[in-house]
Structure 1
Amino acid sequence: MTFTATSLATAVRRRIDNKTKPLGALGRLEELALQIALIQQTETPKLTNPHLLVFAGDHGLTAEGVSAYPADVTYGMVRNFIAGGAAINLFCRQNGLKLLVCDVGVNETFEENTESFVKYKIRPGTRNMRYEPAMIPDECEAALDAGKILINGVCYRDCNVVGFGEMGIGNTSSASLLMHRLTGLPLTECVGRGTGLDDAGLAHKLAVLQDIADRYAHLTAPMDLLAAMGGLEIAAIVGGMLQAADNGMLILIDGFIATAALLVAQAINSAVRQHCIFCHQSDETGHRLMLNRLEARPLLDLGLRLGEGTGCALAYPLVQAAVTMLNDMATMDSLAG
């Protein structure tokens, strides 16, 4: 049956209201079921072969002391992902998501070759954006292409729901700058402690980022902003989100970094927003404000600020529950029969 958006929404609401429960008794799950049905354009949505894609890249800006951790932690954490010992590995295994890790810009060489690890290195980390753009346009486009290629690869394997994670010491700085420029909010409201900066470290980070914001104040196009102040892993997520929306997939949105990537993707193609399920509200300063600008209600608020896509993996069982309710829960009509 062919639906208009209005007629489909009416039909799905009717199905939900006819379930064996008081009207509205399943709260946000009912809203989520309706959203998924509208994304998939069917009264009977399904979730197939869910994936979590984690993109990793280093940031030249770490030379300015904007992170509490050294840049080489990026490499160590990617090794941890490959070995299966990180939080995202555990949560994906627990909740039935396939994890795919992609090196788009780590400043080290990986010898590992596994089914769940992809090498698509554009360059060994971004440049120091305080003095020159983080990426030249061709590098930024190549990172977008990496995200698009991976999405088409998992889509070919019948995946219709994907979450995005990231690993890159210093990437809260990129996210803060992108948030500042794409929302118009003051930089002070966009900059947080990242991996755990103290007060002095936070003040230094803010001063450095203000210098960068001033340097690139003349830029307005989203791709120009992304190339100048973004990260290779953030650009890959942007590309992945754009392609996932084109493919009609559900997009699970993680925390501060991933939501900043969404701001860029939405600025390029506004249709991306309607495919997004916001999984959690990060404890990072600015994420709540970013979500408010997007008029987004996250499923979870657990004080997380880890990244890696952990919020996506933790929220996925709620996505499953909403679809199961819509498809399998008995109806009042069946009781009457």
Structure 2
Amino acid sequence: MVLRAPRVLLALAGLAVLSATPRPARADYAVDYAPPPKPPEDDFWREVVEPHGDQIRVVLEKVDQIWNQVVSWQNYDAGDPTGELRQRVLDDAWGMLKYARRLDPTRRDVLERMGRIGEESGRTQAAIEALQAYVALLPPEEDPPAEISLRLGRSMLRAGRAEDAMRHLRAAASPAGIGAQALAALGEALMQTGRTADAIDALSPNLGQQYSYYWQNETVQLAFTLAVAYDRDEQITAAFGVLEDMRNQLATEYANRIQQSLAALPLVPARDREYFLALFYESEGYLQEARTEWLHYAEGGDGAPFRGRALDHVAAIDQLLAERLEAAAKPKP
């Protein structure tokens, strides 16, 4: 008969062996877990001051992505030939910004984008309201940024508030402003209010200060607006002189840069684009295309205040084309 030790005795013997084995110091096997970090105080106060800040930041990031895409389509004339997609994404951006403004009506970064997207998407009155709300939130001693003044000026011109428009455009065109772009818009405003000579006086002295060895699109817009002003003042030689200077500077890029710059130039009224294009085609010798654009402009009636000047161009082109036909019909010696 074999005697078996009770299990409890075996367990006690095992514990005795373990207790006799030297144990490592606690530092050799223990893991010290650091306490969780305290949330930064600025995060706490940001939640207090801007309870919807994170939501608004997400909205602004999405709106900025849309805007960058719109600018890309505009600069490279690709991806949206009809402009339908551009309008659709701008409408989407506008909806997002309305939501962000409901969350916090005092966010100037939201209001700035509302003014920009509103102007670009055809929401003239809404753009004016958002931009004026932006200005109202500025400290009394702070002037509006030039970009805000420019968009306010253009939007007010579209709304028929010419004098208010020119006040904002002059502020945007100041030495601290954004120069060529605002000057081109100011020249347009002056011409639309019958002050073509004043437009020339505003644009001509500033043209030389706005370009260096490289013509930015805004500088091309300024120069072409000056050429249009000369033409409307019946100074056709001066008008074509400005265009010839640009052609010499831009060389083989001339036609492409003119078309690109005019496509990006916000004209008020929009019908003026036909006048600008007609003068460009005529300067390039594309007389049939120029004649078509002059006639399109002249069909604008009261919306085309320089209709008489456009018809003068049509008559001159018809005479030139007739002379060419007559010369071609003569028998060669």
- TM-score, normalised to structure 2, is 0.24
Higher-Rg structure is: 2
- TM-score, normalised to structure 1, is 0.24
